[in-house]
Amino acid sequence: MAKKRWLEYVLFYLLWTVLIAMGFWFLILSRETFLTGAAYYAGDSFTRGWQTRFFDKVFFLSAGIAVLIYFYATEGYLRAGIEKHDMLRRFFKASGWMVLAIFVADFMLLALQQFAGGVWLRWVILAAELGLGVALTWVGRRKPAKPIAPPPTMNHANSHQ
């Protein structure tokens, strides 16, 4: 029993490390998206350039704090899943939503770049992010409270044969 408990905690830390890596990836991608949008705002204006640098610092600090809160929230969420024996479901749910957030930031970045370059691989990556995010979220959905029983008419029909 103790050995199984130890393995559950090893799995917990491995899964949490994956969520942390996805959080950092979202932070980097969202900053790139913000800076691309801010470049349109700044244009050739010297004053707006300084404002953009300030807004970049504020955005990065705010997004960093949000990602830090995400780290702590997912740690507690996954740790509670150890006791309830649904850690994998919780991981799929948390990672699915994070992949969808990454998809949104990535798509916004592509739109701000005016869909330039015509690189088909970029569209494949977006489709993979969207598909993986939806699939993980779907797998991580809640289980029904009690098993669904077949309709009584099916049991009745089988008893007459």
Domain ranges of the chain: 2-159
Give me the pLDDT at residue 56, please: 92
Question: Do the Cβ atoms of 136 and 99 come closer than 8 Å?
Answer: yes
pLDDT value at position 93? 93
CA distance 130 to 104: 9
Residues 95/136, Cβ–Cβ less than 8 Å:
yes
**Phi, then psi, of 122 in degrees rounded to 5:** -60, -40
Q: What is the pLDDT of residue 20?
A: 95
Q: Residue-wise pLDDT tens for the chain (161 aa)?
A: 566 778 888 898 999 999 999 999 999 999 999 999 998 888 888 888 899 999 999 999 999 999 999 999 999 999 998 888 888 999 999 999 999 999 999 999 998 888 776 678 888 999 999 999 999 999 988 765 666 666 677 555 555 55
Quick one: pLDDT at residue 42? 86
Residue-wise burial string across 17-28, b where 16 or more C-beta atoms lie within 10 A, e elsewhere? eebeebbeebbe
Q: Dihedral (C-alpha) 8, 12, 13, 18: value to the nearest 10 degrees?
A: 140
Query: Which amino acid appears at position 97 of this protein?
Result: W
Contact 83/126 with Cβ under 8 angstroms? Answer: no
Q: Of all helices (H) and strands (E), which one includes residue 25?
A: helix 2-42
Q: What integer pLDDT is reported at residue 34 of this predicted model?
A: 93
